[in-house]
Every structure is written in structure tokens, then in C-alpha cells.
Amino acid sequence: MKFLHQPSRFLFFTGKGGVGKTSIACATAMHLAETGKTVLLVSTDPASNIGQVFGVDIGNHIVPITAVARLSALEIDPEAAAGAYRERLISPVRGLLPDGVVKGIEESLSGACTTEIAAFDEFTTLLTDTALTSRFQHIIFDTAPTGHTIRLLQLPGAWSGFLEAGRGDASCLGPLAGLTKQRAQYRAAVEALADPQRTRLVLVARAQRGALREVARTRRELAALGLSRQYLVINGVLPASEAQEDALAFAIHRRDQEALAMIPETLKDLPRDEIGLMPFNLVGLEALRGLLTTPSPRPARRIEHPLERDLPSLATLVDDIAAGGRGLILLMGKGGVGKTTLAAAIAVALAARGLPVHLTTSDPAAHLVHTLDGASDELTVSCIDPHIETDRYRRHVLETKGAELDAEGRVLLEEDLRSPCTEEIAVFQAFSRVIREAHKSFLVMDTAPTGHTLLLLDAAGAYHREVARQQGSADRHATTPMMQLQDPQQTKVLLVTLAETTPVLETARLQRDLQRAGIKPWAWVINMSVAAKSPRSPLLQERARHEWREIEAATGHSARVAIVPFLEDEPIGRDPLLALCQASSATTHP
């Protein structure tokens, strides 16, 4: 593998969610450790699952992976980091200040901004604290999905510049209070990231046009940040030897090769590796060791159907949704599971029935326009663009709050609005504004990958708490965005997943998080199922055998589970999207 040749000390694996970053990062960490190197594997993903891959509990502290000598791991848990960060700031004044003042400080530190700052604080420590990491020859980062990673890597420069310019005003004093003494650490982090001798970026993608476009954009943005030493890994490529086995294998191979033939120009000059599609789930040491080697052919096996009941198709779910006449339809799940395609298919199917539909996304990496391909004439389509919303919010604050300030106060306000906190506030306001439409029509929302979505819902919860605190019992009829999300009469949450071990576990964890917030998911949708197509290819049959086990596990998490089969052709445009809603779930015995 080219990306493993003379590896630098810091290796970042990044790319669109669901492309296999975690598996490749874990396999790389094992490979380096088993060749005699001391390695620290770090996840900066709010939805980390490296503990699941190795079958151990890791958490927010460095622990050895006992089954692999010289390998240790750490999961930067944003919530745990935020809790420790808050306690570090509050504990010195607890007991010295009135309880009401302390409670106010705690409230100022309860939002998503604090969570991200705290996680960032730990991230930069790993890049700069030699006392903490000197025993490791390599530090491997399994980063969050692309949008979050870009933001994380931009923060060193953003926070350093913001702190150099001024202290900001009250809206950021709470979260920033613990950062003002660490400017040198942030500068050092920027230098480490930009040094090609110390840092190597491995861009991971699937052999899919959308994934390759996304990783091309990532390359440009990371290069602009000074991260110039980049490698490309195309993961999950179906071997040519499987293409002659059946129509499904042939279609998958054809789609892979067509996508690779049209690879964006900006990626063509990168050192490139291809990793074949594995016939097994990448969980456990044996599976990881096999990832970076050529798999041996496996004989075909009869796949027994394990389910005692048939599962509904996506068309059945659409029938049930349409019967409500209006409402908010939220598609959530791990990145790369096909939320954008399914959101577009549901929206097009509802609009084809003559129902009013608004299709929108809060995912900055989504490609709704490409997926719809002209099918937007029957519905309204929009995107909550973080850059546009942040600019709109800044202008609004300057025109309102800024109009009452003198020249010096306005300068301070402008500096405060340049802080990274501003984007979270602006995106949440746009989210709150658009979901009001669900009272009179259908609003189908393709959300961002799990971690970002949870931050968004955390902002909704913080807003809910603030409204309740300010209003008390004065207005029992006030409705906050969180109340709308919690009302099953107004909101249906569809959790989208794949029939693979990690996505199913991840979806179950997301469901638990939502339930703690008072939001009960309405259905699970298992997308792109190979098992539902009854393949004859030995490799695909082996994958199907693993899939049925995960499909059965999913039925234990939700009373309503639908299966969407893998389609030979990518569903782009009105008719293919409608066909996706009409495709059989193929749950009859193979």
C-alpha cells in the first residue's frame, strides 16, 4: 500500500461517512504495531466506534489494546470532554459565588459550542504535548465525517486568530474562558498539521461518483489549510473475478469501474491504493488483518432466510406517511448509508401523489440536486448552507444589536461574530425556521451524519430549556423546536442504516440517544441490501449471510423495519427515485 510507505508520525484518515475510514485506520494501526512500532489510535468522531471494532471498551482516555502488542487507543468523547472542561472552569468558584451565579455559568457552558471547543482542546493536545505522546512513534487519527473534520481542522487557525484579535463579548465568554492561555498550543498544532514530514492525509472514498466528488472537495479544502501531503484510498472495490457470477455482481463491478474512469481531475495526481470489497464484516482482529491483503476466494453457500416475518418495503412506509397529510419526516443515521437518496425518493413519491412537499438538508456535504436530476419541479428544494446562514445571522445581529452600540462596541461585536460559535447558532436558527413548515405540508429533511445531527438536536434542547426557564408557567402553549421533534403526531424519524455490524450498532446507539431526548424513532430503513437480491456471487453470498444476521438484529430494535434492496443502477432522477419506493423488499426465501 502506497499510503503505508515510510509513514509519517501523524496519519489522518478522512472522507465521507461510511466509506471505511475506521476499518482502514484500525487495520493500519495494527499493521504498524505488528511491525514493531508503538502506535496510538485516536478517534475524533463524535460517533466513534473503534471500541466496537476491537471488541473492547476504550473511552476518553488512552488504553492499551491487549490483543495487539504496542497498540493503544483513545476515543475523544465530546460529551465527556465537555463535562471535564465545564468542571475545570466551574469548580474554582463553586462555594465562593452564589448558587444562582454558578448555575448561570453552567448554563452558559451547556451548549454545542462548548462541546466542540472541549473536544478540540483535547485534539490539539495530542498534536503538541510531547510528554503525553512521546512514547508513540505513530499517532493515527480516525476522523469524523468530512464536514465535521473540515471544521475540526479549521479550528486551530480560527481560534488562534480569534483569540489574537480580542476576547469577544459575553456570548462567547463562557466557552472561551478556558482557552485564552493556550494560544501557543494552537499555533503549534497548526504547524504540525501543515508539516508534510510530520503529517500525512489519507483520503478514503468508495468507487462511487458522489463519494469521489466529495473527496475531491475535501482535498482542495485541506490543501488550502496547508495539509498538502495527501494519499487516496478507494475502498470496497468489487473484484473483477466476481463480475461474471450474476447480474448483481456485474452491475456493482460496472458501477465501480465507471466511477473510477470518471475520477475528478484534482484526484488523478495523488498516490492511490485500491482495497477490495471484503466478504465479511470488519470487526475483530482476524478481519482487520485481512483488510490490507488480497482475500482468498470463498465457495458459494446457500443463504437461509432467518426471519419469521416479511418486512415492509419503502413503498409501504410512504403509504403510511402519506396518510398523515403533512408533517416533518427526518431521515437520520451514520454517514454514507444513503439518507440523501432515500429522502429524495420519499419526497418525490409524496409529491407524485399531489401532496405539498418541501425537501431540505442540513448536511453541508449532501448532493440533493445531483440526486434529483430535474425531479424538483413537483416539490420545493432547499439546503441549510452553514456559510450562507452564518453570513445572514452576522448581518442581522449587526443591523439590530450593532445599531445600538458605539464604534468601539461595534468593533468588539464584529470580532465576536467571527468566532466559530456563530455558525452553530446560525444553523440552529435556520433549522428552527424551516421545520415550522411541517404544520401545513410535508417537510422531508435529509440530516447531516450522526455526530453533527446530535449537536444540532443538543442546540434544540438548549433552546427548549432556555424558553422554559424564561417563560416558567406563563405560557403553557409555547411550542419549541424540541417539542415538535418529540411529538409523534408532527414528526416521524426514520433511522437509515446498512445491514452491517457497525452501522446497526451505531443506529441502535443513535436511537438510545434520541429516546433520552424524548424523541422516539418511527422506523428503521435498511438500505442497499445485497441479501434482498438473493445473489449467486460467492463473495456477495458471503456478505448476504452476514447481512441476514444484522437484519434480524435490527428487528429487535424497532417494531417497524423496512428493507431497500441494492439496485443495479444508481437511482438518480424522478423515475428511478419513484422506482426505489416501489422496489420489492424481496424477503421471500431465496
- Active-site positions read 18, 20-23, 45, 502
Beta-carbon-side half-sphere exposure of residue 264 (alpha carbons within 13 Å):
17
Distance separating alpha carbons of residues 401 and 413, to the nearest angstrom: 9
Dihedral pair phi/psi, residue 135, rounded to 5° = -75, -10
Please answer whether residues 462 and 110 qualify as being in contact, where contact means their C-beta atoms are separated by less than 8 angstroms. Answer: yes
User: Helix, strand or coil for residue 326?
Assistant: coil
326, three cell numbers = 403533512
Distance separating alpha carbons of residues 126 and 42, to the nearest angstrom: 9
Distance separating alpha carbons of residues 409 and 406, to the nearest angstrom: 5
Please answer whether residues 47 and 506 qualify as being in contact, where contact means their C-beta atoms are separated by less than 8 angstroms. Answer: yes
What is the β-pairing status of strands 71-75 and 63-64?
Answer: antiparallel
583, three cell numbers = 422496489
Degrees (nearest 5) of the Cα angle 537, 282, 311?
Answer: 60
Query: Quick one: residue 354, left, alpha or beta (phi over 0 = left, psi -120 to 50 = alpha)?
Result: left
Largest CA distance in the chain: 77
Between the alpha carbon of residue 108 and those of residues 171, 458, 459, the distances in Å are 8, 14, 12
Distance separating alpha carbons of residues 440 and 63, to the nearest angstrom: 52
SS (H, E, C) 523-569: EEEEEEECHHHCCCCHHHHHHHHHHHHHHHHHHCCCCCEEEEECCCC
Distance separating alpha carbons of residues 563 and 528, to the nearest angstrom: 8
Residue type, position 557, single letter: H
Beta bridge partners of 523: 494
441476514: which residue's cell? 548
